[in-house]
Amino acid sequence: MNQVVRLADIMAKGEIEEHAGPEEVAPRLDAEHLRMLEAILFAASEPLDEAALGRLLPQGTSVAALLAELQEIYRARGVNLVKVAGKWQFRTAPDLSFLLRREKPEQRRLSRAAIETLAIVAYHQPVTRAQIEDIRGVALSKGTIDALMEVGWVKIRGRKRTVGRPVTYGTTEAFLVHFGLESVGDLPGADELKAAGFLDALPASGLDIPAPSENLAPDEDPLEESDPGEGEDNAV
């Protein structure tokens, strides 16, 4: 009843690789795997990592090599294969944004304070509420962090090993996916900010602000399951 086209059948047919040269060791296999990878990535609604792709492709497929090849094929096309948050996704080419740009009316505009806070969290992470307040020179309202957490761009990522063990904030995978970043290291201008020393601690404020990193900082503890985390918010 379930007439499933078997992998083996398709590979046996090997219909695709008309351009396979004689020097290619296993051209039939590769071309067919490339088609599979293309189909999987095209069909997916979310970025996929190499491990997930490996599970969907026949065993022994060199996923990384195939991805590099597919990325090259699509490099100059209207659709590109890009790596975001360490995962792969087809996306429309950036230079065609003039053609595709649509402003969603429901896309709520973040307040100036929220955008500033987002930038501080992104570039300085892991960062505590006190550190955000120190940089902005003003108390941070609960609504601002809430708005960023609601959009799904900011999360509580741990606790700092200092007095009171304040929670630390960081950006989410959704943030990277939304802004098309492979990692927080790819934030625009991160190198310049760092070179100018703006991501360093200021001497008198006694703050300890390392470069943004998704890994736990030396003085940061991971958030435990049972850790309410949010508790800190009420203190301010």
Partner 1 sequence: MSDFDDTFVEIEGAASPDEALVVAVDGFEGPLDLLLSLARNQKVDLAKISVLELAEQYLAFVESARSRNLELAADYLVMAAWLAYLKSRLLLPQAAPEGETPADQMAELLRLRLQRLHAIREAGARLMAGNHLGREIFARGMPEPVEVVRVQEQIDSLYDLLTAYSRERLKSVAVRAYKPGHAPVLLIEEARERLERMLGRIGNWSALARLLPPEWSSGVRRRSGMASTLLACLELARDGRIELRQLRPFDEIYVRDRGVREDTEMV
Q: Which region among 12-20, 160-168, 180-188, 215-223 touches partner 1 (by CB under 8 A)?
A: 180-188
Q: Which does 105 bind (CB under 5 to 8 A by kind): partner 1, its own copies, none?
A: partner 1
Instruction: Between 38 and 133, name the residue whose CB sits nearer to its own copies.
Output: 38
The span of 96-104, 157-165, 194-202, 222-230 binding its own copies (CB under 8 A) equals 96-104
Provide CB contacts within 8 A for 102, sequence distance 6+: none
Q: In whole angstroms, how close is the CB of 219 to its own copies at the nearest point?
A: 29
203 binds partner 1 (CB under 8 A): yes
CB 154 within 8 A of CB 172: yes
Subset of 75-134 contacting partner 1 (CB under 8 A): 89-92, 94, 97, 100-110, 112-113, 115-116, 118-120, 122-124
Q: How many chain residues touch partner 1 (CB under 8 A)?
A: 60
The C-alpha atoms of residue 146 and residue 236 are separated, in whole angstroms, by 13
